[in-house]
Structure 1
């Protein structure tokens, strides 16, 4: 079992959202799998083309400036700036 390294515990969730880049001209659909005040885990179709920093807009209109902490084929771990 992996050691928990997060300063703030994330809570499981299942929310829709969009990764917004290029001043809103490009978006990527995503699903938020867990969330905390400090960051989130996002599931995407592919990480190709997603930059290291972007805005996350949730379907409930919450918005966060994000920095990518880790990447897997179809997942991103982000911290909120």
Structure 2
């Protein structure tokens, strides 16, 4: 039996969106699979390293999120409150290359 840990129930959705980070320099296509008042499930088209926080842009809205868990191409995110939202410095290309070499 699976224990429900979410604060609010999620509704199933299937709509295209974009993951945006690096000050808008990096934009990746994704699919929203479920959505609630506090978080969502994002399915990436391919495995790619994501920062801890990023934005999800979908038609009509943009939300800042924090990555909570990851299983393959699926990413569970929680919506950040206004107080938690802070500008995120872009990741340098050298830092990305170093992470790939280490990992």
Structure 1 residues 27-80: Cα deviation after superposition (integer angstroms, max 9, x where no partner): 11110000011100000023422111101101x121100000100111000000
The answer to which structure has the higher strand fraction is: 1
Q: 1:47·1:71 contact (CA, 8 Å) conserved in 2?
A: no
Aligned counterpart, 2:50: 50
The answer to which structure has the higher helix fraction is: 2
What are the residue-to-residue correspondences of 1:1-81 with 2, within 5 Å? 1-58=1-58, 60-81=59-80
Where structure 1 has 5 or more consecutive residues not aligned to the other structure, the ranges are none
Where structure 2 has 5 or more consecutive residues not aligned to the other structure, the ranges are 81-103
Q: TM-score, normalised by structure 2?
A: 0.73
Deviation at 1:8? 0.5
Give the distance between the partners of 2:37 and 2:52, measured in 1 at CA: 19
